[in-house]
């Protein structure tokens, strides 16, 4: 977690440094002085511009409308100066934070202990491993398997309904991503649904629903699928955020590489090697 924070702040620092360089380059060729804007009445319908050699000066020169480009450059200069000052202040704050950031966060201390010491300690914070283990063990009633349903079992010995679900489950297992198969979800206005998978992003503790639509060349199936996806959205479960949708037809089967790319996009850092 400390490393994650460090990476986030380093990325922010790099962004601010790059932006500062661009601003500093613009400020090398700007007009002298600053801009004052005046509104002549309460409705601010008439705006006038004045040029001051220094912001503290009382003496100023009226800028006629014919010099709109000069006005724009002065306004841009003022904005750039404030933005640059803010960026540099934030960079200094990030440098101070990184210098004083502990090697391990408070939540990571327990995981750093030896197994013998862990047995003697009650952790202040629930570790990611503890949370994931409890999450995966949650009991629930899934959908019933009918006698005509093919018997397909994952690497973990869990029964699924299709070869594509078998592939997805085994990929999730390979990358140690906790999942629940057909965990019931209530959608307001639609009722109870049983998503193919509900997966867990351990670091963020975010649950993501995965619906695999495996019969997209069946028009009746497609209509039902579209309706269900629509109700996911109405219930605040959006594709690309908390919802993964994969598709398949007879002539366009499941693509394993695309599945891995989707997982990596939704849970960065999960797919390695």
Q: What pLDDT digit, counting tens, does each position of 138-149 carry?
A: 999 999 998 989
Of residues 178, 183, 181, 177, the one with CA closest to residue 264:
177
Work out the pLDDT band at 55, boundaries 50, 70, 90.
confident
What lies within 8 Å, CB to CB, of 271 at 6+ separation is: 175, 260, 261, 263, 264
Per DSSP, the three-state class of 254 is coil
Question: CA–CA distance from 265 to each of 56, 239, 268 (Å)?
Answer: 52, 12, 6
Residue 43 has pLDDT above 70, yes or no: no
Work out the pLDDT band at 2, boundaries 50, 70, 90.
low
Residue 1 has pLDDT above 80, yes or no: no
Q: What is the per-residue pLDDT for 141? A: 93
| Residue 87 and residue 19 in contact, taking contact as beta carbons nearer than 8 Å | yes
Residue 42 has pLDDT above 70, yes or no: no
User: Averaged over 109-113, what is the pLDDT?
Assistant: 92
CATH architecture entry for 128-266: 3-Layer(aba) Sandwich (3.40)
Between CA 155 and CA 162 the distance in angstroms is 14
Q: What is the per-residue pLDDT for 184? A: 96
Work out the pLDDT band at 33, boundaries 50, 70, 90.
very high
Q: Out of 34-48, 169-183, 185-199, 207-221, pick the least confident.
A: 34-48
Q: Where are the alpha helices (DSSP H) in the chain?
A: 2-27, 68-100, 109-112, 115-118, 128-136, 163-174, 219-234, 256-266
| Residue 47 and residue 35 in contact, taking contact as beta carbons nearer than 8 Å | no
Average pLDDT, the chain: 92
User: Averaged over 39-68, what is the pLDDT?
Assistant: 84
Burial grade of 32 (CB within 10 A; 0-12, 13-18, 19 or more) = exposed
């Amino acid at each position: 977690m400390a490393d994650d924070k460090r990476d986030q702040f380093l990325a922010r620092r790099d962004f601010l440094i790059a932006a500062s360089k661009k601003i500093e380059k613009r400020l090398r060729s700007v007009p002298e002085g600053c801009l004052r804007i005046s509104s002549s009445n309460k409705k601010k319908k008439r705006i006038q511009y004045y040029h001051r050699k220094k912001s503290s000066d009382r003496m100023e020169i009226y800028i006629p409308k014919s010099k709109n480009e000069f006005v724009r450059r002065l306004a841009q200069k003022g904005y750039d100066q404030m933005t640059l000052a803010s960026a540099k202040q934030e960079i200094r704050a990030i440098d101070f934070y990184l210098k004083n950031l502990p090697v391990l966060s408070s939540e990571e201390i327990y995981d750093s202990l030896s197994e013998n010491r862990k047995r003697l300690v009650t952790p202040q914070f629930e570790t990611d491993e503890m949370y994931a283990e409890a999450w995966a063990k949650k009991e629930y009633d899934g959908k019933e398997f009918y006698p005509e349903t093919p018997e397909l079992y994952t690497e973990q010995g869990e029964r699924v309904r299709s070869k594509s679900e078998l592939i997805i489950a085994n990929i999730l297992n390979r990358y140690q991503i906790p999942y629940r198969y057909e965990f019931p979800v209530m959608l307001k206005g639609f009722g109870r649904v049983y998503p193919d998978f509900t997966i867990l992003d351990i670091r963020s503790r975010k649950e993501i629903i995965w619906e695999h639509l495996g019969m997209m060349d069946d028009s009746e199936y497609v209509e039902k699928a579209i309706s269900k996806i629509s109700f996911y959205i109405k219930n605040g479960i959006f594709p690309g955020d908390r919802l993964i949708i994969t598709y398949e037809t007879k002539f366009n089967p499941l693509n394993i590489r695309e599945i891995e790319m989707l997982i990596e996009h939704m849970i960065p850092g999960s797919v390695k090697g």
